[in-house]
């Protein structure tokens, strides 16, 4: 298989399951509306240094991820596709870098290209490559950093070693400027642990010097400039977002048990987990060379231990270990197929039979009319065709998997297996549960049809939980917030920012005060809006209620 064919197949897969569906799904709150609002505020205020969330100082992360999103929106428009494009491109960069690592440490023809499509077709890389959060960009920088370090550490003639090490440090700086000190910790423990495993004691102290220097040269001036434009940034970023979050997170930082990430690995490795029997058999007769085994083992184990020691946990946190998992899956399956003479066995058919069984169960629900099982809880309406579509996607996946196992060479069989779930991944955006949208705390979709009316109001007052959605849809960042602040509570105690929060008992008086200067729009959850009416609120000139979102427009009172 030529390099052109490999690049073409990879580009086709990326186009089908990443780029095309990007705008088919509604904006998800609170994460996508939050990062979108921060990027839009940078664009509209033309202040690229200050990190603001609806006008409030927001020091949770450095600004590189926000810059990427803002640049995408400046080029492609202020829409969902542009909002998610940086995450999708980061997934592609991660896949390419993963393939280069596999080709470097495993001398198997075309292993790099196959590893790239395996990485692209796994569940967690696909999900977080189509959602506007920072973990995908962070993972891309980490993978590129490891790739260049591996190239430097395995460069026999040492001609390009200094260049590879310098670029590795630049990528580490990018990871740090995206999510903080984990961007330095992950490459350090992966590279250090790998060198220790190989007993390369001299390289352990020499090789990291150039990456450390290049990372410092890139990151230090930018951090100094960021701290200059954002009062108290460094103190908050270091102590609150790292030390306190690692040791004792509050209720907003997702505390979980130490074993939380262990079941996330097979879930994240879907849709390849259905081949667990073949992967296990291939692992026992693996074609890894020694350095390949050690690198993948270190890459998975040490970051997992570090993340498990932290109190706060989310599935996206383990995204950077999936390149190593992709390499393991690729090499072990190639090993299994090479030794099994490509004869179809029960290991090959187990996952396929499971897909057919699930598809038949869904089809039977439609035939027998058991709508109570699947309809109302998820989609509320038009659920029958969605279940039929899902059943068809599973049948198609099973059929393509059968076609894949007819390939005459291991490399082609794995290529076809990587493409088999493509119809399933393309259809998922059409199957997004409407019930989840309606339960969203900050419904962008509900506000979009009334964005112009809201934006033209003299004063906007919003529930804190809805502020990012209001900012994203209206491009207004000067609103007032109904306390408590939730994620808007930045703990910085800046007087002019604290003055924008209104307690529930003071809301009625504040609305009356602002009506003297212009119209007022009130955006609240439905329960809070009923409570506001109970306090003796004036009659709005217009209002609408959509799910849990209530919007009321009050005219100016002269």
The helix/strand/coil state of 197 is: helix
Of 161, 139, 175, residue with least CA distance to 210? 161
- Give the model's pLDDT for residue 377: 60
Question: What is the secondary structure of 216-246 as a DSSP string?
Answer: HHHHHHHHHHHHHHSTTHHHIIIIIIIIIHH
| Angle separating helix axes 80-105 and 290-309, nearest 10 degrees | 140
Query: Which pLDDT does position 395 carry in this prediction?
Result: 84
Q: Which two tokens stand for residue 181?
A: 């000190």
Q: Are residues 379 and 507 in the same domain?
A: no
Last residue of a domain, one of 382, 398, 433: 433
CA 21 to chain centre: 15
Q: Which of 26-40, 147-161, 405-419 has the lowest mean pLDDT?
A: 405-419
Instruction: Please give the structure tokens belonging to residue 60.
Output: 């949770």
Domain end marker among 433, 465, 494: 433
Looking at 339, 361, 385, which one is the last position of a domain? Answer: 339
Query: What residues contact 213, with CB distance under 8 A and at least 6 apart?
Result: 169
pLDDT attached to residue 338 = 81
Q: Give the mean pLDDT of 317-325.
A: 96
Q: Which residues contact 93 (CB under 8 A, 6 or more apart)?
A: 140, 143, 144
- What mean pLDDT is predicted for residues 119-144? 95
Query: Residue 337: how many CB atoms within 10 A of its CB?
Result: 22
- pLDDT score for 72: 97
Contact 546, 443 (CB under 8 A): yes
Average pLDDT, the chain: 85
Q: Is the pLDDT of residue 537 over 60?
A: yes
- The pLDDT > 70 percentage for the chain reads 87
- Domain of residue 417, residue span: 346-433
Q: What is the CA radius of gyration of the chain?
A: 26
pLDDT at 372 over 50: no
pLDDT, average across residues 288-297: 75
Shared domain check, 185 and 77: yes
Q: Which two tokens stand for residue 49?
A: 């240094």
pLDDT of 106 strictly over 90: no
User: How many distinct structural domains can be found in the chain?
Assistant: 3
Residue 169 confidence (pLDDT) above 90: yes
| Cα distance between residue 228 and residue 305, in whole Å | 35
> Quick one: 384 and 483 in the same domain?
no
Token pair recorded at residue 305: 């231990």
Q: Both 309 and 354 in a single domain?
A: no
What is the mean predicted confidence (pLDDT) over 256-263?
Answer: 87
248 domain-assigned: no
More confident: 558 or 232? 232
pLDDT at 36 (0 to 100): 94
pLDDT digits (tens, 9 = 90+) for 12-28: 899 999 999 898 888 88
Q: Do 410 and 476 lie in a common domain?
A: no
Q: Are residues 332 and 376 in the same domain?
A: no
What digits encode the pLDDT tens for the residues 435-469? Answer: 555 554 446 878 888 888 999 999 999 998 889 99
Q: Is the pLDDT of residue 375 over 80?
A: no
Q: What is the structure's pLDDT at 528?
A: 85
Q: Is 454 inside any structural domain?
A: yes
- With a cut of 70, say whether residue 132 has pLDDT above it: yes
Q: What is the mean pLDDT of residues 524-535?
A: 81
What are the φ and ψ backbone dihedral angles of 462, each rounded to 5 degrees? -135, 150
- Asked if 158 and 98 sit in the same domain, the reply is yes
Whether residue 147 is contained in a domain is answered as: yes
User: What band does 347 get if pLDDT is binned at 50, 70 and 90?
Assistant: low
Output the pLDDT for position 238.
Answer: 86
Sign of the dihedral defined by the CA atoms of residues 176, 179, 181, 187, in that order: negative
4 pLDDT higher than 80: no
Q: What is the pTM of this model?
A: 0.91
Based on the domain organization, do 331 and 393 belong to the same domain? no
Does 184 have pLDDT greater than 80?
yes
Show Cβ contacts of residue 325 under 8 Å, excluding neighbours closer than 6 positions. Answer: 122, 265, 268, 269, 296, 300
Instruction: Round to whole Å and give the CA distance between 441 and 28.
Output: 9
Residues 105 and 189 in one domain: yes
């Amino acid at each position: 298989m030529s390099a052109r064919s490999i690049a073409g197949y990879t580009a086709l897969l990326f186009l089908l399951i990443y780029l095309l569906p990007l705008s088919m799904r509604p904006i998800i709150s609170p994460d996508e509306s939050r990062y979108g609002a921060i990027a839009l505020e940078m664009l509209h205020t033309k202040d690229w240094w200050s990190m603001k969330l609806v006008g409030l100082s927001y020091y949770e992360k450095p600004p590189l991820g926000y810059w990427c999103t803002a640049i995408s929106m400046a080029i492609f428009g202020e829409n969902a596709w542009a909002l998610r494009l940086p995450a999708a491109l980061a997934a592609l960069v991660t896949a390419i870098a993963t393939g280069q690592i596999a080709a470097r440490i495993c001398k198997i023809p075309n292993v790099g290209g196959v590893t790239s499509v395996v990485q692209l077709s796994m569940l967690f890389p696909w999900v977080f490559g189509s959602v506007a959060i920072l973990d995908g960009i962070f993972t891309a920088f980490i993978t590129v950093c490891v790739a260049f370090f591996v190239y430097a550490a395995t460069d026999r003639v040492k001609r390009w070693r200094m260049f590879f090490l310098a670029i590795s440090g630049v990528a580490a700086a990018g990871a740090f400027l995206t999510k903080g000190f984990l961007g330095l910790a992950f490459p350090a423990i992966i590279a250090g642990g790998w060198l220790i495993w190989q007993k390369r004691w001299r390289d352990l102290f020499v090789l990291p010097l150039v990456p450390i220097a290049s990372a410092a040269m890139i990151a230090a001036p930018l951090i100094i400039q960021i701290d200059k434009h954002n009062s108290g940034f460094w103190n908050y970023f270091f102590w609150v977002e790292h030390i306190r979050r690692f040791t004792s997170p509050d209720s907003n930082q997702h505390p979980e048990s130490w074993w939380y990430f262990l079941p996330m690995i097979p879930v994240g490795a879907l849709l390849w987990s259905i081949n667990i029997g073949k992967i296990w058999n291939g692992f026992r007769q693996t074609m890894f060379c020694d350095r390949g085994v050690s690198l993948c083992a270190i890459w998975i184990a040490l970051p997992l231990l570090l993340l498990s020691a932290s109190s706060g946990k989310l599935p996206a946190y383990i995204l950077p270990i999936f390149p190593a998992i992709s390499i393991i899956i690729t090499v072990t399956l190639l090993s299994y197929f090479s030794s099994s003479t490509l004869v179809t066995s029960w290991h090959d058919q187990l996952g396929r039979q499971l897909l057919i069984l699930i598809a038949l169960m869904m089809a039977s629900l439609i035939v027998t009319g058991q709508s109570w099982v699947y309809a109302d809880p998820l989609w509320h309406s038009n659920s029958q065709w969605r279940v039929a579509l899902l059943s068809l996607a599973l049948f198609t996946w099973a059929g393509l998997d059968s076609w894949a196992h007819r390939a005459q060479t291991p490399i082609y069989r794995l290529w076809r297996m990587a493409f088999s779930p493509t119809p399933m991944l393309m259809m998922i955006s059409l199957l997004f549960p409407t019930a989840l949208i309606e339960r969203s705390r900050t419904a962008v979709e509900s506000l979009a049809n009334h964005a112009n009316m809201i934006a033209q109001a003299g004063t906007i007052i919003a529930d804190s939980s809805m502020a990012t959605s209001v900012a994203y849809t209206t491009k207004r960042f000067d609103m007032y917030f109904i306390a408590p602040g939730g994620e808007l509570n930045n703990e910085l105690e800046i007087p002019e920012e604290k003055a924008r929060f209104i307690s529930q008992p003071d809301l009625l008086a504040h609305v009356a005060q602002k009506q003297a200067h212009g119209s007022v729009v009130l955006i609240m959850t439905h329960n809070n809006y009923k409570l506001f009416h109970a306090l003796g609120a004036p009659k709005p000139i217009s209002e609408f209620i959509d799910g849990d979102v209530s919007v009321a427009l009050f005219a100016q009172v002269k």
